[in-house]
Chain A
């Protein structure tokens, strides 16, 4: 998978992902998030419109990264999940845990 990191403010980043989030890429995803959070940005928006496939390895990585962000005083949101990603989020009930936004712009504001 490919991950583009957009630093939108001093504490917020959008991770624009494309490809597949599975056992091959989950480690890279976790490492990228850890680097962004270490760099001071713990409010994360994971933009998933370009991710055509996610499985339980990807879900595990998202949950792990949610914890990483919260431990650093931030949070993790999902934006624009594709049809396949929405299916997996719903089947796993992770849609109850990870807040989902229609697009990256809607997700980057009002962190409360």
Chain B
């Protein structure tokens, strides 16, 4: 990791933590990274809350799920890493698409795809690993 990178980490245990902790974490990140644009903040908050929501929803087979979120704010882009010890997620983010108009769920990953680049999902050891980045605007 380049010394220019600003790394910010949040560890969650759900329950009792929920996505409110992600919002609060990002407020503190923007306080420390005041030159990240409003457009990038909105995009990254949407992406991270959607990914964390998926983790909380899929869970860890009845036991609490631990989730770690890392944001590296660099001069050119922001890198996102989210790991958890939950159940495997049967998705291919490259195939995420918006459902029909009146569907009440299934939009999360498609929205994430629209606001970040190179969204990847891997099953690693006993957990899940999501990575993405976004060029700064």
Instruction: Give A residues with C-beta under 8 Å from B.
Output: 20, 22-24, 53, 55-57, 59-61, 63-64, 66-67, 83-84, 87-88, 91-94, 96-97
Docked pose: A24 CA to B87 CA in angstroms: 21
Residues from chain A with Cβ under 8 Å of B16 in the complex: none
Asked whether B78 is an interface residue with its Cβ less than 8 Å from the other chain, the reply is no
Which of B5-13, B69-77, B107-115 contacts the other chain? B107-115
Residues of B within 8 A of A57 (CB): 53, 108
B46 contacts the other chain (CB 8 A) = yes
Report Cα–Cα, A60/B38, bound state, in Å: 25
Q: Is the interface of B mostly helix, strand, loop or mixed?
A: helix
Where chain A touches its partner, the secondary structure class is helix
Within B85-123, the residues touching A (CB, 8 Å) are 98, 101-108, 110-111, 114-115
**Bound Cα distance A13, B72 (Å):** 45
Residues of B at under 8 Å CB distance from A? Answer: 18-20, 23, 38, 42, 45-46, 49-50, 53, 56-57, 98, 101-108, 110-111, 114-115
Asked if B104 contacts A53 (CB within 8 A), the reply is no
| Residues A64 and B104 in contact in the complex (CB < 8 Å), given A24-B20, A55-B53, A92-B98 | yes
Given A23-B18, A91-B115, A93-B98, A56:B105 Cβ within 8 A: yes
Contact between B101 and A56 (Cβ–Cβ < 8 Å)? no
| A38 nearest CB across to chain B (Å) | 19
Interfacial chain B residues near A60, Cβ < 8 Å: 103-105, 107
Q: A24 contacts which of B18, B101, B103, B105 (Cβ < 8 Å)?
A: B18
Q: Which residue of A lies closest to B109 (CB)?
A: A56
Closest 7 CB pairs of A and B: A56-B107, A56-B108, A60-B104, A64-B104, A23-B53, A97-B101, A60-B105
Asked whether, in the complex, the Cβ of B45 is within 8 Å of the Cβ of A56, the reply is no
